[in-house]
Amino acid sequence: MSGVRMAATAVVFAAMASAIALACVSGCDRLPGAPRDAPAAAAVAVGSDGWVRMTFDSQCCGCHAGGVDGASFPLMEVEYWRIASDEQAIAATAHGQGVMMPSFLDTNGGSLTEEEIVALVTGMRRVYGQGALPSGGLSGTVVPGDAARGEAVFAQACATCHGAQVPKGVLTDPDYLRLVSDQALWTHIAVGRKAVGMPAWNEAMPGRPTGLSAGEVADVVAWLSSQRPLARGGTK
């Protein structure tokens, strides 16, 4: 084998290995933005389980799969679908949220029609949420809370994993808080991150064997929000 061919073979193996590693970790088979197989896409009916998985894998999975490398909260786990309404998930997918979630609506320059977004969200509830509906235990959207009480809850329930002495994930870092919306903090706390050991809001935490109450979720979000530096012009 020539040197050039051996080098090319090594590159192919490396690419395959990383694709397989990614698939194993997250269930995704490609990174966001990578081209998809057009004939295969055309053969799958919009709204079917296969279409939902294919669309999620190609457009959402890199950020929302929830594996160890997931960039944001998991949408492939039932916890999100137990608190979130279709309306909030459709609105976020269509119009984006905060500074990091892009708008997917075609008329905003995105890749999905309104019908496809509705089919994707209702399909994700069926496929990943096992059909779960919001149970009323916790609101899916931010409820105002008490920041002073939230500071005490944070010290007790979260600081073991997120305190200033822990190098990974210092949640009060101003640069972090500027990047995430209160709604994203709410969803992170509500849903947790199983793959990296972060419990959902009502599961056992070190120092909190019974998890948080709904009111305490609101209080912690209010406290984290109060730690966010004011943007220029004085608004949050």
User: Is residue 222 a contact residue for ligand HEC (CB under 6 A)?
Assistant: no
Chain position whose Cβ is nearest to ligand HEC? 98
Query: Which of 22, 28, 52, 60 is the binder for ligand HEC (CB under 6 A)?
Result: 60
- Look at residues 49, 33, 121 and name the one whose alpha carbon lies nearest to residue 85: 121
Query: Which of 101, 127, 177, 200 is the binder for ligand HEC (CB under 6 A)?
Result: 101
- Look at residues 36, 135, 122 and name the one whose alpha carbon lies nearest to residue 82: 135
Dist CA 34 CA 13 (whole Å): 18
Rg value, the chain, Cα: 20
Query: Which of 22, 26, 65, 93 is the binder for ligand HEC (CB under 6 A)?
Result: 93
Give the list of residues 6+ apart from residue 134 with CB closer than 8 angstroms, or none. Answer: 82, 83, 84, 85, 140
User: Is residue 227 a contact residue for ligand HEC (CB under 6 A)?
Assistant: no
Please report, as residue ranges, which positions from 5 to 44 form the binding site for ligand HEC (by CB under 6 A).
32
Query: Which of 105, 138, 189, 218 is the binder for ligand HEC (CB under 6 A)?
Result: 189
State whether residue 143 is helix, strand or coil.
coil
Q: What are phi and psi of 22, to 5 degrees?
A: -65, -45
Tell me how far CA of residue 153 lies from CA of 79, 122, 167, 218, in angstroms: 21, 34, 20, 11
User: Is residue 220 a contact residue for ligand HEC (CB under 6 A)?
Assistant: yes
Query: Which of 52, 65, 76, 84 is the binder for ligand HEC (CB under 6 A)?
Result: 84
Residue span binding ligand HEC (CB under 6 A) among the ranges 2-10, 18-26, 129-137, 182-190: 182-190
Comparison of 19 and 183: residue with beta carbon closer to ligand HEC: 183
**Which amino acid, one-letter code, is at 20?**
I
Dist CA 88 CA 86 (whole Å): 6
Instruction: Using CB under 6 A, list all residues that contact ligand HEC.
Output: 32, 59-60, 62-64, 71-72, 75, 84, 88-89, 92-93, 97-98, 100-101, 104, 120, 157-158, 160-162, 168-169, 171, 180-181, 183-185, 187-189, 193, 196-199, 205-206, 212, 220
